[in-house]
Amino acid sequence: MHATTLSIAGSDSSGGAGIQADLKAIAAHGGYGASVITALTAQNTQTVTLAESVSKAMLEAQLRAVFEDLNVVAVKSGMLPTPEVIITVAHALREHAPAHYVLDPVMISKSGYHLIPAESVSALVSHLLPLASLVTPNTHEAEALSGVSPIRTVADMEAAGRRILASGARAVLVKGGHLDHAEAVDVLVTPDHCETFAAPRLDVRHTHGTGCTYSAAIATRLGQGQDLSTAICGAKQFLTAAIAAGLEVGQGIGPTNPFYFLASPEAAEAWVASMRAEGRADV
């Protein structure tokens, strides 16, 4: 049965982040994406005006429908707005035990809208961190999860990652995109080692959905058989190209372009060839 990457996240009505960005990133990697929607948001490239959680019954029904029928090998979660949602998702993950679970602890939108209340942060730490193969906080989220603040250097990122690791996660990737450094450096912390992943810092405006795209790409690559470091390295290269090709959609911060390689037949062929060269399954 064909492998599935499941995104458990909120819906972005502008199409640039959340479930919509996840499914694009999964498809770009030759994967099959399924979705469980945790919340509806009314947003565009400039602002989020409203966010509402789905009912517990609807959330449970979606989880049951997907897990009972599809071959879910990897899961990523994004916006989990309430403790009830977090506990419900945790129960499903414990029951079905997917091989890989990437937790993107989405807390604040690109426009500054607080997507989850403070009590959800503690619920996330208690119920989901211990289940995660990888947690992917940006520096603001890492500060909230670890208590290490402010995070300004790579050493700070490693310290925060180790604090989060102590909460039960198997690995933590602290993303440095918000820091004022010459390069965009992410720090992977595991019980055994610390590793950095660097890419050029691009002077571009359209970066909506970067975290969603990154975590979905990592989850898909893990589900296709890559080890953690290889999956992160490939996903970061993919994200950098998607950011460079960002789309001027709307009047605010437009989205990244996960289908940048469709700009020409030659680019598409090069992308497919690179995936085959990596020996990924189902590609």
Could you confirm whether 82 is annotated as catalytic?
no
131-152 pLDDT tens trace: 999 999 999 999 999 999 999 9
Burial label, 114 (beta-carbon count in 10 A; 0-12, 13-18, 19+): exposed
The yes-or-no verdict on residue 113 having pLDDT over 80 is no
| CA 114 to the chain's CA centroid | 17
pTM value is 0.95
30 is catalytic: no
Cβ-contact 253, 244 below 8 angstroms: no
Residue from 4, 45, 88, 207 carrying the catalytic annotation: 207
Q: Is 198 in contact with 101 (CB distance < 8 Å)?
A: no
pLDDT in tens, 52-98: 999 999 999 999 999 999 999 999 999 999 999 999 999 999 999 99
In the chain the domains, ranked by start, together with CATH numbers, are: 3-277 (3.40.1190.20)
Look up 207 and say whether it is catalytic.
yes
Say which of 211, 223, 246, 254 is annotated catalytic: 211
Spatial distance between the Cα atoms of 275 and 283, rounded to a whole number of angstroms: 7
Q: Which of 24, 76, 110, 175 is catalytic?
A: 175
Residue 212 is among the residues annotated as catalytic for this protein: yes
Mean pLDDT value across the chain: 93
Among the listed residues 33, 209, 246, 254, the single catalytic one is 209
Distances (CA, A) of 204 to 74, 198, 210: 31, 17, 12
For residues 148 and 118, the model is more confident at: 148
